[in-house]
Amino acid sequence: MVFKKRLDYGFNAFSVSNVPRAPRSIRKRDRTKRVVEDSRICAFELLASLAGKLLEAGESFASSNASAGHDHVSVVKDVKLETQYDDKPLKTECVEHVSCDASVVTSDWTTENSDNSKEPKHSENNAILEPTLTKALPACSEKINDDLMYTIRKCNVGYGSFTGNLDGCSPDFGDLCDDISENGVKREIEANNCLTMDPLELSMTFPSPINSDRDVKLLSHSDSVPNASFSRHRNDIKLGSRDDDEKFSRFNKLSNRFKVSRPATLIEDRRIRKFLTSKYWKAAPKLKDFEDSQADGGIKALHRKRKTYYNYDKCQYDTLYKRRKFFDCSSIVTSDGGIGSENVSNSPEKVTNENKCRSVAMSHGACEIASLLTGHQASHKSDDSHGMNIFYRTVMEAVTALLGGRIRVGVLLQGKKVRDDSRTLLQTGISSEDNLDALGFTLEPGPVIAPRPICSEEPPLQLPRGSAPQNLTSSLVVTPALDTGISAATPDPPLLTNSAKPVDSNYEHVLSQTDMLTDQNLSESRALVPVPAMNVEALAVVPVNQKIRKSELAQRRTRRPFSVSEVEALVQAVEELGTGRWRDVKLRAFENADHRTYVDLKDKWKTLVHTAKISPQQRRGEPVPQELLDRVMAAHAYWSQHQAKQQGKHHPGTLRITEPQAYRDGVVVAIPTITM
């Protein structure tokens, strides 16, 4: 005989208390399912990650991860970005360019070199790569032209196959190569005087831990050049000669922290997430937009534990930072080549004599973007305008980084420039569904920055810039070929939770009125308005750490108060599952609320319990129905007493005591009952 205390209001909960906890194995299965769902990741996200890759130029050191071989991110493979850096920006001479391609290759093995030379111990993940790298080194350094491209491709495309032979150009890559050559993408590596850069910085830049992620493979173009080739092509740079062992070791430690081998999907998710939440985005004014889109768009892949990305972020930040430095120091990037994408329709390039270099760079950049777009459209759909937003920012970042902030990416909607501030594209209403046809991007020369021996430390978007004349309208316009695959995509309506009630149907991000500038004048467009020159000196004085931390903190997720319906769902789930199984609660009631992690749910429960205890007058925010609070108290009381005892071991019909204590309006109500 058992007693059951029932609340006067008929609380008969906890009947499901015997829901067994899913075994780990099953849990994993869940994840697997999720993986499938993840495949829906919209193109933009991929793009985002891709862009991230770009930013990580040269960091694509292949991971020896065996699992990498299974990766199917081929979509991105085709994307390539090639740029050249002119190390003499101020001089305005386009004469000297450093082949980014070379850089790419070099970067990959640069890491290795560093490791080998500086830290023999750090062979852990890279061991496999060494042979290849060693091999590649000579080849890369020697090839300065198109051939190099091949080599590079081999080295970089698909880190999974990195360990493959470099001598043979695989079919896949072959295409790329052909593509490239056809488009006339050729460049020479010429002596480059990026001496201003700190060798150490350079080398530090590439070994970015991020590289371990295998999602996007594209040629990165960072200026960092490995010792061998580096010295060769850049006599001025003394690389490796004066690296701080300390720094290196530190770096190595850092990189070691990253596990190269992880489930592809997980990596992907994190990779993207990481990127999105990383400083790259921080640099962008509205990270929030993205998050919102995630939650509402039903994009699951990205919402996972943010915490997990923490370390990565740090590293990434460092990397970025370093890179930034690099870019700051290096002069504008110039590149040539045509648009390799069939889908891409590029308007005629308007090259001003005034800026041949610049024009070239722009055109190239445009091609790159186009490539990005086309690369993804084929097999991915995008859910919403947020994607565009993200994409835009990504591109912006990438371009900014690559071009040293000299060129800005402008968004064109129906021929009009769109501002990229706060709500950016979101507000413009640009979405995959409609105006993609009218959507375009522009690469426009940005304010020229005086090269600095010492790099500034501001975030990418805030690079100090001189106030240069802004007649950029003549920039080349590229219409992304998004319409094909993306525009056709049907936005996935967010799935509702199991609980009958929609947990998070708040699509707060209702697209607002198109907010584009009617004025073509660049000065009107924030996207095109040069950032006010900043006092670099002053900034330089600020400790890097401080800055980093600041920006890190800025990553805080946007606050999203629980709606009543969410609370309801939470209470319901907790009543059934208890308070120690937040993961299950999450799965049960918030499966599709990607912005609610089980930690969030746990926290919310905590606050609910607290809320229920305090007087209504002390409560804030959207009032929670007393009925729910009562249930909260009841469940809390119940579960705090039963805890894990009965988890997963009760079978329906089992006798037991339930709800020993219940509170109602502060009064304990205990009604003995018998259950059977």
Point out which span in 189-197, 300-308, 384-392, 417-425 binds DNA (CB under 7 A): 300-308
Q: Which stretch binds DNA (CB under 7 A): 329-337, 515-523, 537-545, 602-610?
A: 602-610
Q: What is the 3-state secondary structure (H, E, C) of 229-273?
A: HHHHHCCCCCCCCCCCHHHHHHHHHHHHCCCCCCCHHHHHHHHHH
598 binds DNA, rule: CB under 7 A:
yes
At 239, the amino acid letter reads L
- Tokens standing for 522? 């660049």
| Range in contact with DNA (rule: CB under 7 A) among 159-167, 190-198, 395-403, 599-607 | 599-607
DSSP single-letter state for residue 658? B
Q: Measured from the CB atom, is 423 or 588 closer to DNA?
A: 588
The span from the CA of 547 to the CA of 538, in Å, is: 13
Comparing CB distances to DNA, the nearer of 556 and 651 is: 556
Q: Tell me the two tokens of residue 175.
A: 């295409």
Do residues 398 and 51 lie in contact, with contact meaning Cβ atoms separated by under 8 Å?
yes
Neighbours of 66 (CB within 10 A): 12
The Cα 570–Cα 7 span in angstroms is: 19
Rank residues 31 and 238 by Cβ distance to DNA and give the closer one.
Answer: 31
Q: Rank residues 78 and 594 by Cβ distance to DNA and give the closer one.
A: 594
Question: How many residues would you count in the chain?
Answer: 676
**By CB under 7 A, is residue 356 in contact with DNA?**
no
We find the least distance from the C-beta atom of residue 287 to DNA, in angstroms, to be 10
Minimum CB separation of residue 596 from DNA in Å reads 7
Neighbours of 19 (CB within 10 A): 17
Q: In this chain, which of 72, 305, 550, 649 binds DNA, going by CB under 7 A?
A: 305
* Contact pick of 565, 580, 646, 650 for DNA (by CB under 7 A): 580
Residue 264 Cβ, how far from DNA at the closest point, in Å?
A: 12
**Site map for DNA, 247-286, x if CB under 7 A?**
-------------------x--------------------
Return the beta strands (E) in 335-483 as ranges: 345-346, 407-413, 416-418, 439-445, 476-479
Quote the CA–CA distance of 284 and 430 in Å, as a whole number: 18
For residue 536, is it left (φ>0), alpha (ψ between -120 and 50) or beta? alpha
Q: Using CB under 7 A, which residues numbered 10 to 39 contact DNA?
A: 27, 31
Out of 600, 629, 632, 659, point to the residue binding DNA (CB under 7 A).
600
Gap between the Cα atoms of 293 and 306, Å rounded: 16
Assess 579 for contact with DNA (CB under 7 A).
Answer: yes
**Among positions 170, 249, 261, 308, the unique one binding DNA when judged by CB under 7 A:** 308
d(CA 160, CA 76): 13
In the complex, minimum distance from the CB of residue 470 to DNA, in angstroms, rounded to a whole number: 37
Cβ closest to DNA, residue 553 vs residue 667: 553
Beta strands in 162-312 (DSSP E): none
Residue 666, burial from CB neighbour count under 10 angstroms (0-12, 13-18, 19+): exposed
Stretch that binds DNA, among 41-49, 145-153, 214-222, 551-559 (CB under 7 A): 551-559
How far is the C-alpha of 629 from the C-alpha of 626, rounded, in Å? 5
Q: How far is the CB of 210 from DNA (least distance, A)?
A: 17
**Among the residue ranges 6-14, 137-145, 567-575, 597-605, the one whose residues contact DNA (CB under 7 A):** 597-605
- Please tell me the distance from the alpha carbon of residue 109 to that of residue 130, in angstroms, as a whole number: 8
**Nearer residue to DNA within complex by CB, 540 or 599:** 599
- Residue 671 has a CB neighbour count (10 Å cut-off) of 13
Burial class of 535 by CB neighbour count within 10 A (0 to 12, 13 to 18, 19+): exposed
> Binders of DNA among 553-572, rule CB under 7 A?
553, 555-560
Binding DNA (rule: CB under 7 A), the pick from 10, 246, 307, 653 is 307
Residue whose CB is less far from DNA, 314 or 465 = 314
Q: Which two tokens stand for residue 133?
A: 């790298």
Return the number of the residue (159 or 590) whose C-beta is nearest DNA.
590
Provide, rounded to whole angstroms, the least separation between the CB of residue 322 and DNA: 22
State both tokens at 131: 């042979």
Closer to DNA by Cβ: residue 115 or 268: 268
Q: Is 65 in the site for DNA (CB under 7 A)?
A: no
Among 271, 303, 423, 583, binds DNA (CB under 7 A): 583
Under rule CB under 7 A, residue 602 binds DNA: yes
Chain residues in the site for DNA (CB under 7 A): 27, 31, 266, 304-308, 310, 552-553, 555-560, 579-584, 595, 598-600, 602-603, 606-607, 644
